[in-house]
């Protein structure tokens, strides 16, 4: 059965709209069709997922640190390789140079990681300044490299009082700003002082089970996306900007 003239006309119009040559605002050399093969059949890495964990408190008995340590145990049991950054000694943003030892340590760990866990206490209805300081020291770009872009992120928070999600919501905004793949699930532990034994281990509960769920989801998302991340975050606007910069440099009239 042949298409009606109207269907044929609609298809021709669609084909015309889909042609980059017919869109004067598009820089055609920088406009790429989606490569489903790159998305569905990437070269698969076989090493353990590399997960960096950050916590936002310096207290001697820090519940965000204890929750982070428990999460690291779960991640290791799930087959991941984990490293945890101790924020003690990290200077305030712009109060030291980028070659400060703690800043260098943090940035190297971020570059190493394929996924991250951020865990902050809620203080005055927000994430802690320590948590924000760590994120503020992570550059959006370092030369041609974007340290956080395309990496997975899981979020957790602890509270001294009732259930809350304020710190989680703020960190989720930060994760998007850092161009990270922030997983849907998250963990909030209210009255955290009741959820840990004297030796620092987390007690069995539905809150513990939720933390396990979050870590399991993080590992799955990391495995699914880490080999696709360079393609997933490849953007038309950035390709265009790079092409324009190259053209200006190559076509300089004087050097």
For residue 29, what pLDDT is reported? 77
What are the φ/ψ torsions at residue 4 (nearest 5 degrees)? -70, 160
Whether 218 maps to a domain, the answer reads yes
Whether 255 maps to a domain, the answer reads no
Whether 245 maps to a domain, the answer reads no
For residue 72, what pLDDT is reported? 97
For residue 143, what is the domain's CATH number?
3.40.50.360
Whether 87 maps to a domain, the answer reads yes
Q: What is this structure's pTM?
A: 0.82
For residue 255, what pLDDT is reported? 44
- Using CA atoms, how far residue 42 sits from 36, 50, 56, 232, in Å, is 10, 18, 36, 11
Q: What is the pLDDT along the chain (255 residues), one digit of tens a residue?
A: 556 655 555 555 555 445 656 777 877 778 777 777 777 777 888 999 999 999 999 999 999 999 999 999 999 999 999 999 999 999 999 899 989 999 999 999 999 999 999 999 999 999 999 999 999 999 887 766 688 889 999 999 999 888 889 999 999 999 999 999 999 999 999 999 999 999 999 999 999 999 999 999 999 999 999 988 888 888 888 788 776 676 666 565 444
- Rounded CA separation 220/23 (Å): 39
Nearest to 162 by CA among 196, 194, 190, 193: 190
For residue 34, what pLDDT is reported? 77
For residue 246, what pLDDT is reported? 60
State which residues form the domain around 188: 50-226
Q: How many folded domains does the chain comprise? A: 1
Whether 55 maps to a domain, the answer reads yes
- Rounded CA separation 181/192 (Å): 27
What are the φ/ψ torsions at residue 44 (nearest 5 degrees)? -90, 125
Whether 6 maps to a domain, the answer reads no
Burial string for 78-108 (b: 16+ CB within 10 Å, else e) reads bebebebbebeebeeeeeeeeeeebbeebbe
For residue 203, what pLDDT is reported? 95
Whether 33 maps to a domain, the answer reads no
Whether 127 maps to a domain, the answer reads yes
What are the φ/ψ torsions at residue 54 (nearest 5 degrees)? -120, 135
CB-based contacts of 192, cutoff 8 Å, min separation 6: 63, 67, 121, 158, 159, 160
Longest CA span, the chain:
77
- Rounded CA separation 3/8 (Å): 6
For residue 233, what pLDDT is reported? 81
């Amino acid at each position: 059965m042949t298409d009606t003239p109207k269907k044929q006309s609609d298809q021709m119009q669609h084909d015309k709209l889909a042609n980059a040559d017919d869109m004067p605002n598009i820089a055609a050399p920088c406009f790429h069709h989606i490569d489903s093969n790159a998305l569905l059949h990437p070269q698969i890495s076989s090493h353990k997922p590399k997960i960096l964990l950050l916590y936002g408190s310096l207290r001697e008995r820090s519940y965000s640190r204890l929750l982070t340590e428990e999460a690291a145990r779960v991640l290791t049991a799930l087959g991941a390789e984990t490293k945890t950054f101790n924020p003690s000694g990290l200077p305030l943003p712009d109060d030291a140079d980028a070659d400060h030892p703690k800043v260098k340590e943090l940035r190297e760990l971020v570059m190493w990681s394929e996924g991250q866990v951020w865990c902050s206490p809620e203080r005055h209805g927000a994430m802690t300044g320590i948590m924000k300081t760590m994120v503020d020291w992570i550059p959006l770009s370092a030369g041609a490299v974007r340290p956080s872009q395309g990496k997975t992120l899981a979020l957790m928070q602890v509270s001294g009082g009732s259930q809350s999600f304020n710190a989680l919501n703020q960190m989720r905004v930060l994760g998007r700003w850092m161009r990270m793949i922030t997983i849907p699930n998250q963990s909030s532990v209210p009255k955290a002082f009741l959820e840990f034994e004297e030796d620092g281990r987390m007690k069995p509960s539905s809150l513990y089970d939720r933390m396990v769920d979050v870590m399991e989801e993080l590992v799955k998302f990391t495995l699914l996306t880490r080999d696709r991340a360079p393609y997933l975050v490849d953007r038309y606007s950035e390709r265009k900007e790079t092409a324009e910069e190259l053209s200006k440099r190559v076509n300089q009239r004087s050097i």
